[in-house]
Each structure stands twice: as structure tokens, then as C-alpha cells.
């Protein structure tokens, strides 16, 4: 691999990595799994059916250097737009690679005002900070900010070095280091814990998880878990725990502070899907039972050791699954509610398992992106190519089931809800 400019190369030898300390009856890696490649340091489409009262009018689009912060934003390919309830759409005047949500809830834009040149656009001052990334990169979605907002992990791809993750100073735009794999195995930043970055890399035969202390003088990725033919997994957004398994084995919770694994389920996990709340306190598990298509939903308190169930398992309709195998569900930003898009309705639940909102599914729509707000609204981007629309659905209160629909500009690119203003 070649390194250029201010980038530093540090080679990690897999053989030097230790196994996590676990109970004697708890496997932590598939003994038959091939060795993972070394690292070097230097939206989904779902079938759901919210109802609408009337077709939305064609969008009116205006271009601007800045976007209103009191409206939801949708990234359409590399076009970022803000959407008003009346159908007015404001389009940012530069192509956009990603939008990151800062710890204070404000959006940070990764724009590229010139080909292969990238900048952070501050949404308070609407000024650009150039990033000192090397030429020839394609920045990808999935960037992460540290909890203090001081550094970013930016995934990228280049023709020569393939998949990379750059650690960038958020105040200066300078590259601190980069993490790169070998071959064509994608690298995905998962979470920050202080200045410690967790990364996942997937090959055809193995799934491996790494941690890197980016504040160290010579950052060195360390592999802490390797499994072959991986089963379901989920990382806590705050970097405290990892739920993982491999095919045909139980599901485990890996404590990222103590490096200890705890058994969550003692049954095979092929039909289990985990999702951890933003505060890292609650794990939701969907487990398909039999051939009826019905599922069990379980909640665990994963602050406790060992993790403990919060309530008895509840039965729900079959969840909607995307073309990529992703379940249509989402936590609210405050971790107080869980939205589940089933085959017949939109369900809103608390971590105790109580149903607090229930909107029926009257007709079929294809949903590509979705979001749950802290004030119990579901935002869905639906597509009926070449058309697309943003639906805002009330899930609780007197307005429950009410839908506001706004048509979006037609595009062959992907649609993703990247920012939603939250009620204060």
C-alpha cells in the first residue's frame, strides 16, 4: 500500500492480537475461521404502507448556499435538499458526500465543491473548512464524529489503496492518520469511545472487529474479535458493547471495557436481528419463530452485567425486511421509543415493551429511508420510480395516523434522510 503527504504507515500483525477474556464455556471466535487481513494505520428499501389523503404537488426547488435548520434534510445521490411541508424544497449549491450529526444535534456537511476536493461546511456560519485528503479519493457515507466533536472518521475509497478510513482534525481539516486494509474488503467505522475508534471489516469468509487509539503517537489497530461466516451483530453507538454471533451459535454481548462476553440467547441465531439504543443502555432483539412469519420481540438492559431481560417477549407481525436484509426499525434519538415497521402497521414501543402508538397499513408503498423523532413522528422516504416522496406520520396523540406528504425531486440515485430537527 502506498502512503502520501502527511499520512503515516503502521503495520498491524494479526498474530500479535490477543483473544478476549471470556467464561470458559463461551466461545469468542470461530476456530475454523480463516485469518483476517491486517489493517494498517497511518438505506434500505422496505415495503410499508402509510396512508395519504391526496397526491402531493410537484416540488418547487430553489438553490442556496445554506439550508434551513428547522426542516428535514434528504440526501439524493449527492444532492442535499431541505423539505418544507408546503412542498418547497431548498437545494444546497454544492455536491454532498455525507451529513454527520454533531453531539449537540446540529448537522455537519461533508461537501466537495470541486472534483475530488472535500470540505466541512459549518451549518452555523455556513463557511467551508477544506480537508487535506489526498487526491483521487471518493469519500463514502458513514463518517463519525468523536463525542467532543473534535475529530472525524471518514471512510473513503481510492483506485490504488482501495478502502480506507481517515482520521481528520475537525478544527483544522488536517489528516491525523489513516487506517487501511488489504485487498477489497470494506472498512466501516462503527463508534467512537473518546478517541478510541471501533471499525468493522468484512471479507468473503470472515468478519473482524478492530479498535484504534487515535490519540496515540503511533496509532495501531488491534483486532479484538474475529469470526467466520458471521451471524447477526450490532455495535452500541456510544462504543460500550458489541452484540455478535456466528452461524448456528448463541448470541453474545461483548463488553468493550472488560473484554468479556455474556450469553444473551442459548438458541441458534440465524433469524435474530439486534439493535442497540443510541445511549447504549437497551438492546432490542427480533427473533423469528417457525414458518408462520411471526416474531418475538425482546428487550434487554445491557447496562447490567450480565445483561437482563426487561420484560417478557412479545409477539408481533412479521417485520418488513429490505432488499439488503435490514429490518425496518429505528430508535428515537433519546432512546425512549422504538419504531417497528411490520407487514401490517407501524408500531411504537417503549423499552419496557409497552405499545404507545399503532398506525395501520392501508396500502403498499416502497420505503427507502426512515427516521423516528423524539416527539413520536415517523419520517419515511417512499419511491415509486421515477417519483419519490417524504411522508411525515404522527404516531401518537389526536393526530395519530395523519400524514403529510411532500414530493421529492426524481432521481436514479439513492435517497436517505440525513437530518431531522428535533423538538426542544
User: Do residues 135 and 29 both lie within one domain?
Assistant: yes
Residue where a domain terminates, one of 179, 207, 229: 229
User: Do residues 103 and 236 both lie within one domain?
Assistant: no
User: Do residues 26 and 114 both lie within one domain?
Assistant: yes
Residue where a domain terminates, one of 326, 354, 378: 326
Spell out the residues 6+ positions from residue 27 whose beta carbon is closer than 8 angstroms to its own. Answer: 249
User: Do residues 195 and 258 both lie within one domain?
Assistant: no
User: Do residues 406 and 269 both lie within one domain?
Assistant: no
Q: What is the pLDDT of residue 292?
A: 59
Task: Strand 338-341: give its sheet, edge to edge.
Answer: 329-331, 338-341, 345-349, 355-360
In the block, cell 456537511 appears at 109
In a domain, 334, yes or no: no
In a domain, 393, yes or no: yes
User: Do residues 23 and 152 both lie within one domain?
Assistant: yes
User: Do residues 23 and 84 both lie within one domain?
Assistant: no
Question: Three-state secondary structure along the chain?
Answer: CCCCCCCCCEECCHHHCCCCCCCCCCCCCCCCCCCCCCCEECCCCEEECCCCCCCCCCCEEEEECCCCCCCCEEEECCEEEEECCCCEEEEECCCEEEEEECCCCCEEEEEEEECCEEEEEECCCCCEEECCCCCCEEECCCCEECCCCCEEEEEEEECCCEEEEEEEECCCCCEEEEEECCCCCCEEEEEEECCEEEEEEECCCEEEEEEEECCCCCCCCEEEEEEECECCCEECCCCCEEEECECCCCEEEEECCCCEEEEEECCCCCCEEEEECCCCCEEEEEEECCCCCCEEEEEEECCCCCCEECCCCEEECCECECCCCCECEEECCCCCCEEEEECCEEEEECCCCCEEEEEECCCCEEEEEEEECCCCEEEEEEEECCEEEEEEEECCCCCCCCEEEEEECCCCCCEEEEECCCCC
CA distance 401 to 24: 51
User: Do residues 62 and 170 both lie within one domain?
Assistant: no
User: Do residues 24 and 120 both lie within one domain?
Assistant: yes
User: Do residues 22 and 34 both lie within one domain?
Assistant: yes
With a cut of 70, which residues of the chain have pLDDT below it?
A: 1-58, 181-183, 229-230, 247-248, 267-270, 290-293, 321-326, 361-365, 423-424
In a domain, 340, yes or no: no
CA distance 66 to 124: 10
In a domain, 193, yes or no: yes
CA 268 to chain centre: 25
Q: What is the pLDDT of residue 183?
A: 64
In a domain, 349, yes or no: no
Spell out the residues 6+ positions from residue 94 whose beta carbon is closer than 8 angstroms to its own. Answer: 111, 112, 113, 121
Structural domain boundaries enclosing 62: 44-93+363-424
In a domain, 63, yes or no: yes
CA distance 405 to 392: 7
CA distance 358 to 361: 10
Task: Strand 73-76: give its sheet, edge to edge.
Answer: 60-64, 88-92, 79-83, 73-76, 415-419
Q: What is the pLDDT of residue 320?
A: 73
Residue where a domain terminates, one of 326, 355, 373: 326
User: Do residues 412 and 424 both lie within one domain?
Assistant: yes
In a domain, 343, yes or no: no
Q: What is the pLDDT of residues 271-302, one digit of tens each?
A: 788 999 999 999 999 887 765 557 889 999 99
In a domain, 406, yes or no: yes
Q: What is the pLDDT of residue 56?
A: 59
Please state the domain count of the chain: 3
User: Do residues 171 and 37 both lie within one domain?
Assistant: yes
Amino acid at each position: 500500500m502506498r502512503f502520501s503527504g502527511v499520512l503515516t504507515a503502521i503495520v498491524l500483525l494479526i498474530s500479535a492480537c490477543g483473544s478476549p477474556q471470556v467464561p470458559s464455556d463461551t466461545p469468542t471466535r470461530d476456530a475454523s475461521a480463516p485469518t483476517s487481513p491486517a489493517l494498517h494505520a497511518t438505506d434500505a428499501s422496505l415495503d410499508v404502507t402509510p396512508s395519504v389523503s391526496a397526491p402531493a404537488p410537484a416540488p418547487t426547488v430553489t438553490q442556496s448556499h445554506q439550508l434551513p435548520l428547522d426542516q428535514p434534510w434528504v440526501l439524493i445521490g449527492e444532492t442535499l435538499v431541505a423539505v418544507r411541508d408546503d412542498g418547497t424544497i431548498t437545494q444546497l449549491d454544492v455536491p454532498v458526500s455525507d451529513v454527520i450529526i454533531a453531539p449537540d444535534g446540529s448537522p455537519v456537511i461533508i461537501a466537495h465543491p470541486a472534483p475530488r476536493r472535500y470540505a466541512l461546511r459549518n451549518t452555523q456560519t455556513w463557511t467551508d473548512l477544506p480537508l487535506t485528503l489526498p487526491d483521487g479519493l471518493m469519500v463514502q457515507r458513514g463518517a463519525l464524529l468523536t463525542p467532543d466533536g473534535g475529530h472525524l472518521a471518514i471512510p473513503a475509497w481510492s483506485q490504488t489503496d482501495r478502502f480506507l478510513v481517515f482520521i481528520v482534525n475537525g478544527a483544522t481539516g488536517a489528516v491525523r492518520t489513516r487506517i487501511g486494509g488489504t485487498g477489497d474488503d470494506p472498512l466501516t467505522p462503527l463508534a467512537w469511545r473518546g478517541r478510541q475508534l471501533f471499525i468493522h471489516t468484512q471479507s468473503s469468509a470472515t468478519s473482524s472487529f478492530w479498535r484504534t487509539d487515535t490519540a496515540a503517537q503511533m496509532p495501531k489497530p488491534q483486532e479484538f474479535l474475529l469470526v467466520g461466516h458471521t451471524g447477526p451483530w450490532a455495535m452500541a453507538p456510544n462504543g460500550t458493547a458489541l452484540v455478535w454471533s456466528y452461524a448456528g451459535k448463541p448470541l453474545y454481548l461483548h463488553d468493550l471495557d472488560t473484554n468479556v462476553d455474556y450469553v444473551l440467547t442459548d438458541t441458534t441465531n440465524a433469524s435474530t436481528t439486534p439493535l442497540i439504543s443510541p445511549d447504549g443502555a437497551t438492546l432490542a432483539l427480533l427473533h423469528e419463530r417457525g414458518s408462520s412469519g411471526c416474531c418475538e420481540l425482546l428487550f434487554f438492559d445491557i447496562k447490567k452485567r450480565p445483561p437482563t431481560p426487561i420484560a417478557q417477549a412479545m409477539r408481533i407481525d412479521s417485520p418488513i425486511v429490505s432488499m439488503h436484509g435490514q429490518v425496518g426499525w429505528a430508535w428515537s434519538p433519546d432512546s425512549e421509543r422504538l419504531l417497528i415497521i411490520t407487514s401490517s402497521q407501524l408500531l411504537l414501543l417503549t423499552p419496557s415493551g409497552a405499545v404507545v402508538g399503532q398506525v395501520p397499513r392501508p396500502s403498499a408503498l416502497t420505503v427507502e429511508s426512515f427516521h423516528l423523532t423524539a416527539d413520536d413522528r415517523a419520517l419515511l422516504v417512499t419511491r415509486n420510480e421515477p417519483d419519490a416522496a417524504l411522508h411525515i406520520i404522527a404516531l401518537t396523540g389526536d393526530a395519530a395516523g395523519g400524514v403529510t406528504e411532500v414530493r421529492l425531486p426524481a432521481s436514479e440515485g439513492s435517497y436517505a434522510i440525513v437530518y431531522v430537527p428535533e423538538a426542544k
